[in-house]
Amino acid sequence: MTEAGKNLAFGKKRQQHVLILASGDKVRHLTIRPWLAATALCIAGLLSVGYIGATAYLILRDDLVGATIARQSRMKQDYEDRIAALRSQVDRVTSKQLLDQQVVERKVERLLAQQNALTSRHGRMSELLERADKSGVSGAKDDAPPVNAYAPDKRASLSGASSAIEQLVGASTADIGMKGSLPYRQSDQRTSDRALSKMIASLSKVESDQLSRIASLTVGAENKADAMADIIRRTGIKIEDKAHDAIGGPFVEPTTNDASFEASLSNLDNALNRLDSVRGAAEAFPFGNPAPGHDISSRFGNRMDPFLGRLALHAGIDFTAETGADIRTTGAGTVISAGFSGGYGNMVEIDHGKGITTRYGHMSQILVKEGDKVNAADVIGRAGSTGRSTGPHVHYEVRLNDNPVDPMRFLVAGTELKTYLQ
């Protein structure tokens, strides 16, 4: 088809778009074809869209960058919070482990200190308990343990406890030492803690029992010394007694530290020393019987004189005894006279101290001499009827500061003291 035919297709004639460019004398004609115009429009549109998009990007870029930065900041903060939480958790676990270790170490130190204290106290305590046993002292409480309750068998149990303590301490410290590299075993820690607490309570019970036993023995020794001192005082003898009756104060549970334990031992030692002092006085003073197993034929006081038939003071007690029967000292002392002495016949006089002397008269034979030291119940002579006597017997006198006193006071006191001296 010719060009004219194309322009006349479908009965229409297309208009040509001619672009005339003039430059001086030159004139150019450019025919703009439809496809070229379409292409130019497309390119212009694309450029416009690109420009609009670039402009929009530049406008929205700051918001997008800000949002991105904010999101990244939030993510970073979240990570930091998680890290901080994990670090805090690690610190708590570590702190708990250290705290548990410190608690166990303190309990171990206390346990070992208690065990060492019990072991070190055993020697002195055993000595005092043996003294109390020999003195016949019993506790104030009926349900108190025996005196030797803390003797060798208790020491053996303490030795076994020491071995158990060492094993438990080793297991506990090893378990704690591994917690830094192994998972924390809280159940094992609780088990060790309970075991340590149980052993501490057990040793504390032993300490408390020891203090109670010592206090009970102290009261027993004080009571025994008080009773013996009262008996001696009733005879008219004044003895040095360091008892402290003026005491009191509110009741407070006893403590179990070393100072209180030493104070308890010191109190028991003082009580036993006082008891020994009173016992020594009871053994030294004339509380015995000069003629054991013999009846009293004449008592102390006014009576009818067998020779003059009138009232006279009998300064002693007469015991019926056959000639040659033993005459025994009624207490320890020193012989200050041994020989014939007027109406006494053959007489021995013994000084017992504290102004107390005893006389034994009418002997058939004297077995001691002046200056001899005698003990209670020693035989010093034989019964007879020398001097102013109506027949064989033992004349016995007790003198306090050279004044005759009733010997029955001392005989009765001796009978009462015998239960404490056995």
Find the angle CA(338)-CA(313)-CA(317) to the nearest 5 degrees: 55
Domain-terminating residue out of 259, 284, 309: 284
Is 65 among the domain residues? no
Is 33 among the domain residues? no
CA distance 30 to 7: 18
- Rounded mean pLDDT of 162-182? 47
pLDDT digits (tens, 9 = 90+) for 270-281: 988 998 888 888
Residue 401: which of 352, 344, 340, 360 has the closest Cα? 352
pLDDT digits (tens, 9 = 90+) for 322-353: 999 999 999 999 999 999 999 999 999 999 98
Residues 313 and 273 placed together within one structural domain of the fold: no
Question: Does the reported pTM lie above 0.85?
Answer: no
Report residue 252 as tokens. 């407070």
Is 43 among the domain residues? no
The pLDDT value recorded for residue 107 is 67
Residues 122 and 257 placed together within one structural domain of the fold: yes
Is 46 among the domain residues? no
Q: What are phi and psi of 405, to 5 degrees?
A: -125, 165
Residues 278 and 155 placed together within one structural domain of the fold: yes
Domain-terminating residue out of 219, 251, 284: 284
| Dihedral sign (CA 186, 189, 191, 194) | negative
Q: Which residue has the tokens 């970073």?
A: 76
Residues 206 and 265 placed together within one structural domain of the fold: yes
Domain-terminating residue out of 249, 284, 319: 284
Q: Which residue has the tokens 């270790």?
A: 101
CATH of the domain at 337: 2.70.70.10
Beta strand 379-383 with 326-328: parallel, antiparallel or unpaired? Answer: antiparallel
Residue 262: which of 128, 408, 375 has the closest Cα? 128
Is 26 among the domain residues? no
Is 277 among the domain residues? yes
Residues 301 and 175 placed together within one structural domain of the fold: no
Residues 300 and 279 placed together within one structural domain of the fold: no
pLDDT band at residue 151, thresholds of 50, 70 and 90?
very low
pLDDT digits (tens, 9 = 90+) for 37-58: 788 888 888 888 888 888 877 7
Residue 175 · residue 161 · CB < 8 Å: no
Is 379 among the domain residues? yes
pLDDT band at residue 140, thresholds of 50, 70 and 90?
very low
Report residue 75 as tokens. 């993510």
Residues 380 and 279 placed together within one structural domain of the fold: no
User: Helices (DSSP H) in 147-185: which residue ranges?
Assistant: 152-177
Radius of gyration of the CA atoms of the chain, in A: 59
Is 404 among the domain residues? yes
Among residues of the chain, what percentage have pLDDT more than 70?
68
- Rounded mean pLDDT of 306-314? 79
List the domain range (segments joined by +) for residue 195.
101-284
- Rounded mean pLDDT of 124-139? 76
Residues 317 and 373 placed together within one structural domain of the fold: yes
Residue 394 · residue 319 · CB < 8 Å: yes
Residues 266 and 337 placed together within one structural domain of the fold: no
Residues 260 and 371 placed together within one structural domain of the fold: no
Beta strand 393-400 with 356-366: parallel, antiparallel or unpaired? Answer: antiparallel
More confident residue, 81 or 3: 81
Residues 305 and 196 placed together within one structural domain of the fold: no
The pLDDT value recorded for residue 213 is 84
- Evaluate if residue 399 carries a pLDDT over 90: yes
What domain count does the chain have?
Answer: 2
Residues 199 and 309 placed together within one structural domain of the fold: no
- Evaluate if residue 154 carries a pLDDT over 80: no
Report residue 303 as tokens. 């009576």
Residue 197: which of 107, 117, 101 has the closest Cα? 107
